[in-house]
Amino acid sequence: MAAIFRSLLLLLALSESFVGIFSIGVGVNYGRIANNLPSPSHVSVLLRSLNISRVKVYDADPTVLGAFAGTDVEFIIAVGNDLLQKMRDPQQAETWVQQNVQPYISQTKITCVTVGNEILGGQDNQLATYLLPAMKTIYGALVNLGLSKQVYVTTAHSLQILATSFPPSRGAFKEDVVQYIQPILNFHAQVDSPFFINAYPYFAYKSDPNNVQMEYVLFEPNSGAIDPNTNLKYDNMLYAQIDAVYSAIKALGHTDVEVKISETGWPSKGDEDEPGATVQNAGIYNRNLMQRMQQGQGTPARPSQPIDIYLFALFNENQKPGPTSERNFGLYYPDGTLVYSLGVQSYILPRIDYSSSKKNALSIFSLLILLLGSLLFAQER
């Protein structure tokens, strides 16, 4: 009980600074490949206290969806890669929607289903053939059940699908994935759903630290890079990656599909051969990125279109396979303490005039969160 109480006190102390930045609409990925995370009910309290209103998960766990019932949190849920072959069957797809969307949507705001994750650009060509049919059957099931106006369907891609990413105006998909991407783009345009990309400048730096400028990938002051075809200047890699994806999409005949960043982040720890994976750099990347989101920035090629981003990730996940960095992308440790300060107070909160009534409201809010946390703890005991 004492540990829970201390964690909630810490969360409340931090919530005043977080509430400003997350109210701008930045989402967060809630991964759960770990054996030491707080329960979904406690995570629900955490996210609401921080005013995080958009969450992306990698499954459709009923415990998670139930924990957020009655909240304003918008959820992206997922059909796992292991289910794609089965989802080609319209009846199986409708059963999945009936079991994982229909029972919860009246209480939990499910707004999107991602079908598969990073399927294209990998080694499993058979799985790639299942992707679009599964997307279509899930969408068809939503239509049949009267849910297609509330829930859109997409899939998330890695940047491995690009053959060329610089200059951004010459962005192009790999030849071997075009056969899959082209009909997927047609589907997006038809049903008005976005193109999701998982974009990590960190991986570009990790693979070539001698030639990739650290300041360029961390949104720090730098000389930038000029696209020779457009004369547009890029002062960070993420924006260049986004515009490269737009160029690749345009090359396939589409200007009617929006690109959204379904994952981006920076690890706070890595192996000896993972340069740049430090607490300091992770804090710099996410602080600078969120400050730009707060300013409503667009990319150089689309300056008036704010970027839609989901940070990766809410927690460090101690059971993820792969190098050390894979287990250290979290904003939080599992015990509820921040991995690093997001430093948002310095450039957001001082401009807000807190009247005595607002301060009182915040105190009442804090008390309610503490009471709720205690009740949740008692119920779980």
User: CA geometry: angle at 185 spanning 110 and 235, to 5°?
Assistant: 85
Helix or strand run (H / E) with residue 91: helix 90-100
Catalytic residue among 16, 74, 94, 118: 118
Say how far apart CA 143 and CA 362 lie, in whole Å: 42
Q: Which amino acid is at 76?
A: I
Q: Is the dihedral of CA 283, 288, 291, 296 positive or negative?
A: negative
Distance between CA atoms of 257 and 277, rounded to whole angstroms? 33
What is the Cα–Cα distance from 5 to 2, expressed in whole angstroms? 5
To the query of whether residue 263 is one of the catalytic residues in this protein, the response is yes
The gap from C-alpha 79 to its chain's centroid, in whole angstroms, comes to 16
Q: Which amino acid is at 266?
A: W
- 118 is known as an active-site residue: yes
Long-range Cβ contact pairs of 160-166 (< 8 A, separation 24 or more): 160/118, 160/120, 160/121, 160/122, 161/120, 161/121, 162/244, 162/245, 162/248, 164/244, 164/248, 165/240, 165/241, 165/244, 166/225, 166/240, 166/244
Q: How buried is 199 (Cβ within 10 angstroms: 0-12 exposed, 13-18 middle, 19+ buried)?
A: buried
What 8-state DSSP symbol labels residue 210?
Answer: T
Judged by phi (left if over 0) then psi (alpha if -120 to 50, else beta), residue 120 lies in beta
Catalytic residue among 263, 274, 326, 380: 263
Q: What residues are annotated to the active site?
A: 118, 263
